[in-house]
Amino acid sequence: AQTVTQSQPEMSVQEAETVTLSCTYDTSESDYYLFWYKQPPSRQMILVIRQEAYKQQNATENRFSVNFQKAAKSFSLKISDSQLGDAAMYFCAYRTAYSGAGSYQLTFGKGTKLSVIP
């Protein structure tokens, strides 16, 4: 079974600064997808960024980028120019790329609570 570990329960960053959230995972599969989701107090999980394991290039979405190290099974999220609206819980998630049963459930880490200091 796959596991996802987020070792930082809480983090804080000054507005306009850069912060990196860590995520490691364990899997025996070679092809899979990794995601970062953001959950603000409104409770809705919002997809921040996605990485396909077969792609060596790190994904980037505006101020959000990842550092994907497949051999190390590491998938960190970097938020540049942090804004007050970035304050939220951030969850790292894993999903298989191939399922004989057609099931593509997400396996989540415990989350990192990010605070942004004005």
**Cα 8 off chain centre by:** 12
User: Judged by CB under 8 A, does residue 56 bind other proteins?
Assistant: no
Residue 59-98 contact track with other proteins, rule CB under 8 A, x = bound: --------------------------------x-----x-
Other residues' Cβ atoms within 10 Å of the Cβ of residue 60: 12
Does position 108 bind other proteins by CB under 8 A? yes
What's the rounded Cα separation, in Å, for the pair 4 and 8? 12
Minimum distance, C-beta of residue 82 to other proteins, in the bound complex (Å) = 23
Of residues 37 and 68, the one with the C-beta less far from other proteins: 37
User: Is residue 37 within the footprint of other proteins (CB under 8 A)?
Assistant: yes
Q: Strand runs (DSSP E) across the chain, as ranges?
A: 3-5, 10-14, 19-21, 24-26, 32-39, 46-52, 60-61, 64-69, 74-79, 88-96, 107-108, 112-117
Our finding on whether 46 is near other proteins (CB under 8 A) is yes
Q: Does 52 bind other proteins (CB under 8 A)?
A: yes
Work out whether 44 is an interface residue with other proteins (CB under 8 A). yes
User: Tokens in use for 81?
Assistant: 């120019």
Contact residues for other proteins, defined by CB under 8 A: 33, 35, 37, 42-47, 50, 52, 91, 97, 101-111
